[in-house]
Structure 1
Amino acid sequence: MTALLPQGFHDRLPPFADAAAGVEARVLEAARLYGYERVDPPLAEFAEGLGARLKAGGLADAVRFVDPVSQATLAIRPDLTAQVARIASARLGHHPRPVRLSYAGTVLKLRASELSPARETRQIGAELIGLDSVAAAQEVVGVAVDALVAAGAKGLSIDFTLPDLVDTLAAGPLPVDPAWIGPLRERLDAKDAGGVAGIASPYLPLIEAAGPFDPAIDRLRRFDTGGVLRSRLDALVAIATRIGDRVTLTLDPTERHGFEYQTWLGFSLFAEGASREVGRGGTYTIVHADGSEEPATGFSLFADLLTGGAQSVERRRLFVPFGTAPQDSAAMRRTGWVTVAALEPNDTPGAQLCTHVLTDGMPRPLGD
């Protein structure tokens, strides 16, 4: 037997595992205070059903296996949002709309990327099922910000995007051959001016309409001479106004990576010290079993990026010398201390990774 784990998997050791659990609890509590109640879907589902609810091609990223009981093909979830959509559609289909749900759990991807090498990660989020209005987006973005603050994240920023921008323009003032809409989206996402010019040069100004929020909005308004984007831009301003100066805001209207199934709004969440975005959100559509559609708005956070390294986690442990009365330890725990009792006379605070020692009924820092 070997102690090595498969590529993309890792153990969560102390104090990292405790810190991760604390972050998760604080994020869920922030959502609960807005009325979002937790659901806990199973790790695996029938592959066919899960694939139907995932974004296009999503099942290609799922680990699949044959269930020895049913002999059906099951899939381990690569994303939790699709499962929450199933719960809202089927199990809570009778619930008055909107329904507010939160979740946290492990997701598993078949493959990993160089930028995100972990295949097993923790996902935390909240979904507002039944609305994708400006008011819904304002609430969801606000919950996401509060959740990040509760998690201890610093230096927050949000990058907004308009996922259906090309479709909206191509169906109106700037027609594009349907066969070229996909390549045009890709070239705009890549900021490839030459590629955009070769497909539809009127779209070139969109490459420059990115950056700090206020100037970017102004550039988009000047570009939108026909007013096709007015309602979307007004909505973005309303969301930004509600946030105020709590976070730094930017706008990249043609960003598509990670927003393949969002509708009129998408946003990426960033925090100081993280190597990439710590979460994403936006508006999207749930497809019910009868084929009907329902709007929704939500966000997901990538828990491992929020926790940071174990070196950033503060340990605060109180060493209780051998022979101390149990009620003395209990009194310390009631005031919030983590107590570590010596179980042998020769045990030491250092051996138990303690920062304080109980002396004469009082916690004293080591070295005092």
Structure 2
Amino acid sequence: MPRRKGTRISWSPPHERAGIFQGRPFDNIRHSPNPPRPAKGPRTMHENDRDLLPEGLGDRLPQQAWASQTVRRAAHDVLASHGYARVETPVLEFEKALASRMAGVRVRRMFRFMDPVSLRMLAMRSDITAQVARIAATGLAQAPRPLRLSYSGQVVTVKGDGLDPARERLQVGAELIGADSVHAAAEIVELAIEALRAAGAAGVSVDFTLPDLVDTLSAGALPLPASGIEAVRQMLDAKDAGGLVDAGGEAYLPLLYAVGQFDEAIERLAAFDVDGVLASRIAGLRAIAARVNGKARLTLDPSERHGFEYQSWFGFTIYADGIPGSMGRGGTYAILGGAGLDPEPATGFSLYPDPLIEALTAVAAEERRLFLPLGHDREVAARQRAIGWITVAALSETDEPMALGCSHRLEGGQAVPV
């Protein structure tokens, strides 16, 4: 029996919420960039206001910046080892360029303003994927396919995402240009898992989805009027059984139950596909799952659409124990060509590792910092740096090792605890 309107079926991948980071407990500590405001009196412009940062933006202090670089380097080392060449893109581009290479790019999420030089609209990037797509279609258009590219950088959005007020995030990802096959999808999922683990995540889980599921079914086996497709998508995404019936999607109700652990959920999806419309997609999901089995916990939510605005037949969301919310998404998509050019298939993923950076900051190991007194032997100091010490040289007789964060002092050519 269909559930009455408003009844929701709630499900989320079974990743842990309270966590362990590399075997150690951590606290989710965020640095507040803004100094406290006066408790009393009207808020007027005064000397301290000039140092306030906009809502959702913040600095990274030395330990946080070290953690950020550590996470980024670890992920890029993995990507490079699999043949993904790194590219860098500008923070600003013409709005039209950012919006024209991929379907579903949401320009309204971007900061936009007029370029005083060209008098054209500029936009700050909210997703580097579209920029990599532009590179693949222009500067690397003649490069052999499949083309493997990686990237990282800060992205900015007009508003935060859900309960997270941050408007600036680090994005790290990889794109496999020229292929959206099962083999390409499996490579990308494996790569995302490996990169996330290298960056410090534990207990990785992956949730598979079919972003074009409603489009595929409504075009054949389960027809829907064009005006009703979006409503059915929304009700499936919301897991609202009653709303789905009211939207004319009663035949789609079994999809709400084809969720959960992958092996069980894929069987329910296969039982639903009596006409075989989804046979190739189901076979593809099984093949991808078989290749990544044992590397992460696998779940399935075939009708999940949130965050998959431009993906095509395959998508996935990746999670880690102890990290609330997702760590990133990926899947297959198409890069739109210019006039008279066919779209080019691609597969990729984007990770947003800021929670890992916060966790690593909280449990960061002590650095080997060596205090160098005035008049120290520079050759000895160089040898100490060569074996892993971080040296901090005194600038005056009053400099104190511990005040400068040093655990050791150079004495007689040796590192001596302070």
Conserved? CA contact 2:372–2:391, under 8 Å: no
Structure 2 CA distance for partners of 1:215 and 1:242, relative to 1, 3 Å: same
Partner residue in 2 for 1:308: 358
Distance 2:211 2:409 in 1: 56
Unaligned runs of 5+ in 1: none
Structure 1 residue 248 displacement after superposition: 0.9
Q: What does the per-residue CA deviation read over 1:166-210, in whole Å, with 9 as the maximum and x for residues that have no partner?
A: 111112221112211110010011000111122221211111111
Q: Within 1, Cα distance between the matches of 2:120 and 2:302?
A: 42
Q: SS at 2:311's partner residue?
A: coil
Structure 2 equivalent of residue 18 of structure 1:
66
Structure 1, residues 288-320: CA drift from partner, whole Å, max 9, x if none?
112521110000111312312422222313222
Residue 145 (structure 2) aligned to one of 78, 83, 97: 97
How far does residue 337 in structure 1 lie from its aligned partner after superposition? Answer: 2.4
Correspondence for 1:215 among 236, 260, 264: 264
TM-score under structure 2 normalisation? 0.84
Partner of 1:274: helix, strand, or coil?
coil
Corresponding position: 1:292 with 2:347: no
Q: How does 1:32-181 map to 2 (within 5 A)?
A: 32-56=80-104, 58-181=106-229
Partners of 2:221 and 2:275 within 8 A in 1: yes
Aligned to 1:335: 387
1:245-295 CA-to-partner distances (Å, cap 9, x unmatched) read 121111111111100111011111111222211111000011011252111
Greater displacement, 331-340 / 237-246: 331-340
Match of 1:231 in 2: 280
Larger RCO, structures 1/2 (Cα 8 Å, 6+ apart) = 2
Sequence identity of aligned pairs in percent? 49
**Alpha-carbon distance in structure 1 between the residues aligned to 2:269 and 2:412:** 68
Q: What is the deviation of 1:329? A: 2.2
Per-residue deviation, residues 109-138 of structure 1 (Å, max 9, x unmatched): 122234221112221110011100001011
Match of 2:403?
351
SS state at 1:265 partner: strand
CA separation of 1:338 and 1:169: change in aligned 2, threshold 3 A: same
Query: 1:245: which partner in 2?
Result: 294
Q: 1:97 to 1:342 in 2, by over 3 A?
A: same
Please give the secondary structure, in 2, of the residue aligned with 1:163.
Answer: coil
TM-score by length of 1: 0.94
CA shift in 2, pair 1:173/1:84, >3 Å? same
CA distance in 2, matches of 1:67, 1:177: 43
Q: Does 1:28 align with 2:28?
A: no
Matched letter for residue 21 of structure 1: Q
The reply on whether 1:320 has 2:350 as its aligned counterpart is: no
- The 3 A distance-change label for structure 1 pair 278 and 240 is same
**What is the distance in 2 between the residues matched to 1:338 and 1:300?**
33
Quote how far apart the aligned CAs of 1:341 are.
Answer: 2.6
1:32-66 CA-partner distances (Å, limit 9, x unpaired): 11111111111111112222235436111111111
CA contact (8 A) 2:91 2:124 kept: yes
Q: How far 1:331 sits from its partner (Å)?
A: 1.6
Tell me the residue number matched to 1:202. Answer: 251
Letter of the 1:306 partner, please give it: L
Instruction: Tell me how far 1:359 sits from its aligned partner.
Output: 5.4
Amino acid at match of 2:343: E
Letter in 2 for 1:76: M
CA contact (8 A) 2:102 2:335 kept: no
Stretch of structure 1 that moved more, 251-260 or 55-64: 55-64
Relative to 1, partners in 2 of residues 1:269 and 1:364: Cα closer, same or farther, differing over 3 Å?
farther
SS in 2 for 1:138: helix
Write the distance in 2 (CA, Å) between the matches of 1:158 and 1:361. 52
Equivalent residue for 2:315, pick from 252, 266, 270 = 266
CA distance in 1, matches of 2:149, 2:399: 47
SS of the residue 1:68 aligns to: coil
Contact 2:368 2:388 in 1 (8 A): no
Is residue 319–residue 342 contact of structure 1 (8 Å, CA) maintained in 2? Answer: no
- Count of residues in Structure 1 that have an aligned counterpart in Structure 2: 366
Aligned residues of 1:15 and 1:315 also touching (Cα < 8 A): no
Q: Helix, strand or coil: the match of 2:306?
A: coil
| RMSD of equivalent CA atoms | 1.7
**What SS is found at the alignment partner of 1:351?**
helix
| Letter aligned with residue 333 of structure 1 | R
The one-letter code matched in structure 1 to 2:124 is: I
Q: After TM superposition, give the deviation of residue 230 of structure 1 in Å.
A: 1.7
- Structure 1 counterpart of 2:363, which letter? S
